[in-house]
Structure 1
Amino acid sequence: MSIRLVPYYCLLGFALAVASCKTQSPTTTTADTKVKQSQGVYQYRDEDPTIKPFFSDRVGVTGRNGMVASAHPEASQVGLAILKAGGNAVDAAVAVQFALAVVYPGAGNIGGGGFMVYRDNAGKAYSLDYREKAPGRATQNMYLDSLGNVRPGLSISGHLASGVPGSVDGMVEAHKRFGKLTWAQVLQPAIDLASKGFPLTERDALGLSRIKTDLNTINPGKVYFLKSAVPTDTVSWHKGDLLIQTDLAKTLQRIQAQGRAGFYEGETARLLAEEMVRGKGLITEEDLKNYHSIWRDPILAAYKNYNVITMPPTSSGGIALVQMMRFTEPYPLRKWGWNRDSTVQVMIEAERRVYADRAKFLGDPDFVKVPATQLMSPEYLRTRWTDFSWAKATDSRAVRGGTIPGYESLETTHFSVVDKEGNAVSITTTLNGGYGSRVVIGGAGFFMNNEMDDFSIKPGSPNMYGLIGNQANAIAPHKRMLSSMTPTILEKDGKLFMVVGTPGGSTIMTSVYQTILNVIEHGMTMQQSVNALKFHHQWLPDKTIFENGAFSSTTIETLKSRGYILEQLSNTLGRMDCVLVRPDGSYEGASDPRADNTARGY
């Protein structure tokens, strides 16, 4: 059965929040400082009126018959073409997944894995876990030296960093169960892009040029993703250059002709296993043959008059999202205003507690007991909030995962698709770090993941995103590593309302959380919510990072006076790709202006 929860405020009520507001009277300035929507732009009235809380003024794409929002314009166009050809949302999603493996090699993949949340037009919800697995020869201490210290880099780059890929099996399973067009039809666009090539965007060119040293070091003698046919060449790519991937096209053709067996058996499996032997990796042909994605019951949780449909473990994102929304549900965020001091303080404290719980409790449910229902229950959340204080920031050193009786102890891509019948797909898929382990499979032409770093390679030791893990997420043969990916679908009054998700490593959960609240609580359009500047706290390290302009000077001063450590980023947070059902029934596609993300609808 799905994990279904009644609204938090129905059980807990507003007593806790209201009492806290009355008795401690936060020194918020939001009573006098309103954040308004004027011609689609929110402005700070009491400060510089030219300040906008948006990364850009991009306007959303609208359509009535279907919408695709993904990380790359070529992939979004593929998805739209599939919808126009009579395909449904799952057909389009499968086509987009494979297209991204060609045009967005930094995160799109067949050498990685991911999660899918699907809601059909009758309101039935499903979730598919095609997360990678540890190889059969993996061991708990495989990245530690003889003294028990972490051996730097082994879980991040090179052959030993890769888990058994799940993306192809996941797409086969999704299409087999829900697809409408033929398998050959949904694979063909990706094959065409790989064999004929596509012009690189400026971001594509910069990314591939940036990793050319790693490509030469980790893949000696190979020329994959290098501009020149000379393996040691250092020539850079430029916008408009044509990237042709002949070996990848052949790999995709085998998948097209043989389905699952075209990847997990035969020629591709042989090439992958030989590559692992060459680089002292662990994945074998037996590991590939034995890999299978798994259908899991999605988390179904109410928030006011909305229903949240999200991913259960092995994702940590679904539980974390529900926890954060329930922590803040009793508070009048709309009244306080977007990113004002009290709004931000409540959200930071929610994020702090959620990430501490993640470290203690969450892992692969096929290996460890994950107390999902208890973690999201009003009673548990109430106990987690008892040390909240308006006067000062909670010290993360004093925060640990909560107590549950009987319990034993940043590069990804997302896309959202809705078809004309109202079927909706939310998929987040990844290689983990940008371009994964940087290993390219000889003869097959695709990048492998570095997902082994998402395990807790040593309890208490941070991974590449700074996330702390514990025994629940320790390495074990055939175990799925914990993920922050949070593909989510929302209903309003029982009808499809929003499809949302993002890449971003440890920041995924907080970006999805803020994007949803921006629409529900702050009245933004879908695109405004995506454009809106964001912040993030993850328990440890004990600091809040934020995009330039996300907080007004008044908010910064107030939070600092309460002991919050704030750090402005030089880069950005999130790469959202979302779809919103507007009141008239049309779709608004919102793609993130921070990158090449593109929405296409008709």
Structure 2
Amino acid sequence: MSRYLNRFTLLAFVVVLSSCVGGQLGKVTSQPEKGMVVSAYPDASKVGLEILKKGGNAVDAAVAVQFALAVVYPNAGNIGGGGFMVYRSAKGEIAALDFREKAPGLASRDMFLDSAGNPIKDKSLFGHLACGVPGSVAGMAEAHRKFGRLSWQQVLEPAISLAENGFIITEKEADDLNRHSQEFAKYNPAGTVFVSNGGWKQGDRLVQKDLAETLKRIGELGAAGFYEGETADKIVAEMQHGGGLISKEDLKNYHAVWRTPITGIYKGYKIITMPPTSSGGIALLQLLHSVENYPVARYGFNSDSTIQLLTEAERRVYADRATYLGDPDFFKVPQRELLEHGYSVARMKSMSFSKATPSSEIKAGDITVKESNQTTHFSIVDQYGNAVSITTTLNGSFGSKVVVQGAGFFLNNEMDDFSVKPGSPNMYGLVGGEANAIAPGKRMLSSMTPTIIEKDGKLFMVVGTPGGSTIMTSVFQTILNVIEFNKSMQAAVSAKRVHHQWLPDTIYSETGALDSLTKIKLQQKGYPIKEWGASGRVDAILKTKWGYYQGGADPRGDDTAMGW
């Protein structure tokens, strides 16, 4: 069967099921009304749907999917990473949960610089020193404590079963594991189940006994089963073995934080998204504010005028990101000023459709301050009308490449998301400033943009994506594809995307996103264009005016939508 959904029509669509451990799900309606799960891997989507069918709500399903992804999608799904959740209840109540990783207590501002003050290549990317204190388990425990309906053990059981009994890997998963096998061997000299002597093949079964035992401890003890006791001992032993910094105190003192969601209006649609430590929510609303006064629908999808408008908005927003955004517990983020509609409108006045504005001429806006591609996202709506949007990550693919010996899970390399040296780019080319400098206990800045949208006070869309620096622009374009260009959810997700991030001063275009004439027009105006591979993996849900759900599962991966 197909590993992902083909295009949906507006009035009907077919949910495609991939082969799953544990048998078939049974008949799934072509127009789901009770709920939907869209995630990066078919087994994880199946787990979430089964939780919904047992009477669980969207948060129960989200917790189950998060832990399932840690098993079946180890290059981004995780318990050794962190992320963000945006929640909307059936009554319209909203919440945002920050379970982003933190710098260890022994971290220091210049820990990745040489004696001359220059960044040491790869030091913040690979190995034990690159690891931040994980937040995913604390985040899931806190979300479940506040909103869960089923028992903690019930939502953990599917992941435990997948780890203990194994699951069948897809072709993409086999390729990912094989591609990184030498790194796994280098950073895990004692060996790891993620390396296969003969190489992984589609259809192989991956069994993770150590991870199953770790998940059992979490199932029995909650967050304490990870941040204290045997698992904590194993994490600290791994740190000591490889020269890392995470201590027992760091683990025990970690807490997820509830924050006030950012909200804004775009042409009558209410946008509910993530505040700092994510830069994504502020950036998304700035982007929408920047283009709102322009006739985007008339310009047309991926026309030269549309691409030019998006590019000029993006270069201004990313310049602000580099200067003004960081952990609000350490730095006063000028959130109100950045989100003033007039601020973004004024920033666009220097744009001219006759020529490009060089990024060298774009600085952060005048505000007085008294700043991976291997992430994963999933969107869930339940039968009660609650919605959850979660983006979670290890940062790079398989994070730091370090597997905690005896515990069976990868640790993140999120320390690279700090400004290792203000003004120097991270692994995604993003430039940061003093606001995002390394400090003990500080959360590193993120681009993750989990988002929920309302129309006329009712749920309209749940959306998000992985993609490092491309996250905000991928979410931005997906929203425009639906609202401005009237695309179905699947068509909006599948559509080819472009990206600009201020520095480097280049439009990055997925192959086939721009036709030859559009490229010529943009290049004549001074826009360098570079084609690259897949950009983001958006997983989204749209609620139609007829009351059923359209899923958008990104065909760039094994992403799968399942509804009932």
Matched, 1:584 2:546: yes
What code does the residue aligned with 1:490 have?
I
Q: What residue is the counterpart of 2:17 in the other structure?
A: none
Structure 2 residue corresponding to 1:351, chosen from 298, 314, 317: 314
User: How far, CA to CA, are the matches of 2:528 and 2:116 in structure 1?
Assistant: 34
Residue 553 (structure 1) shift: 1.9
Structure 2 residue corresponding to 1:311, chosen from 274, 282, 295: 274
What code does the residue aligned with 1:535 have?
V
- Unaligned runs of 5+ residues in structure 1 are 1-37, 42-59, 228-232
User: How far, CA to CA, are the matches of 1:370 and 1:326 in structure 2?
Assistant: 19
CA contact (8 A) 1:108 1:413 kept: yes
Matched, 1:464 2:434: no
CA contact (8 A) 2:8 2:550 kept: no
Structure 2 residue corresponding to 1:572, chosen from 534, 539, 542: 534
User: How far, CA to CA, are the matches of 1:479 and 1:447 in structure 2?
Assistant: 21
User: How far, CA to CA, are the matches of 2:310 and 2:338 in structure 1?
Assistant: 17
Q: What residue is the counterpart of 1:601 in the other structure?
A: 563
Q: What residue is the counterpart of 1:287 in the other structure?
A: 250
Q: What residue is the counterpart of 2:15 in the other structure?
A: none
CA distance 1:500–1:39, shift in 2 (3 Å): closer
User: How far, CA to CA, are the matches of 2:328 and 2:182 in structure 1?
Assistant: 39
User: How far, CA to CA, are the matches of 2:191 and 2:280 in structure 1?
Assistant: 37
Where do residues 40-439 of structure 1 align in structure 2 (5 Å cutoff)? 62-227=31-196, 233=197, 235-405=198-368, 407=369, 410-439=373-402
Q: What residue is the counterpart of 1:538 in the other structure?
A: 501
User: How far, CA to CA, are the matches of 2:9 and 2:165 in structure 1?
Assistant: 41
Residue 39 (structure 1) shift: 10
Does the residue aligned with 1:221 lie in a helix, a strand or coil? Answer: coil
CA contact (8 A) 1:67 1:600 kept: yes
Matched, 1:513 2:482: no
Does the residue aligned with 2:561 lie in a helix, a strand or coil? Answer: strand
Does the residue aligned with 1:529 lie in a helix, a strand or coil? Answer: helix
Q: What residue is the counterpart of 1:475 in the other structure?
A: 438
Q: What residue is the counterpart of 2:524 in the other structure?
A: 561
Percent identity (aligned): 60
Residue 272 (structure 1) shift: 0.2
Following TM superposition, the consecutive aligned residue runs of length 4 or more in structure 1 with deviations greater than 4 angstroms are: 38-41
Q: What residue is the counterpart of 1:452 in the other structure?
A: 415
Q: What residue is the counterpart of 2:13 in the other structure?
A: none
What code does the residue aligned with 2:433 have?
N
CA contact (8 A) 2:8 2:489 kept: no
Q: What are the Cα deviations for residues 490-517 of structure 1, in whole angstroms up to 9, with x where unaligned?
A: 0001100000000000000000000000
Residue 408 (structure 1) shift: 5.2
CA contact (8 A) 1:224 1:440 kept: no
User: How far, CA to CA, are the matches of 1:438 and 1:87 in structure 2?
Assistant: 34
What code does the residue aligned with 1:183 have?
W
What code does the residue aligned with 1:188 have?
E
Q: What are the Cα deviations for residues 12-46 of structure 1, in whole angstroms up to 9, with x where unaligned?
A: xxxxxxxxxxxxxxxxxxxxxxxxxx9969xxxxx
Residue 223 (structure 1) shift: 2.6
TM-score normalised by length of structure 1: 0.88
CA contact (8 A) 1:313 1:363 kept: yes
User: How far, CA to CA, are the matches of 1:553 and 1:276 in structure 2?
Assistant: 52
CA contact (8 A) 1:61 1:600 kept: no
What code does the residue aligned with 2:417 have?
D
User: How far, CA to CA, are the matches of 2:45 and 2:329 in structure 1?
Assistant: 34
- Unaligned runs of 5+ residues in structure 2 are 1-6, 11-28
Q: What are the Cα deviations for residues 152-173 of structure 1, in whole angstroms up to 9, with x where unaligned?
A: 1110000000000000000000
CA contact (8 A) 2:419 2:432 kept: yes
Residue 224 (structure 1) shift: 2.7
What code does the residue aligned with 1:63 have?
P
Does the residue aligned with 1:360 lie in a helix, a strand or coil? Answer: helix
Q: What are the Cα deviations for residues 245-288 of structure 1, in whole angstroms up to 9, with x where unaligned?
A: 00000000000000011000000000000000000000001100
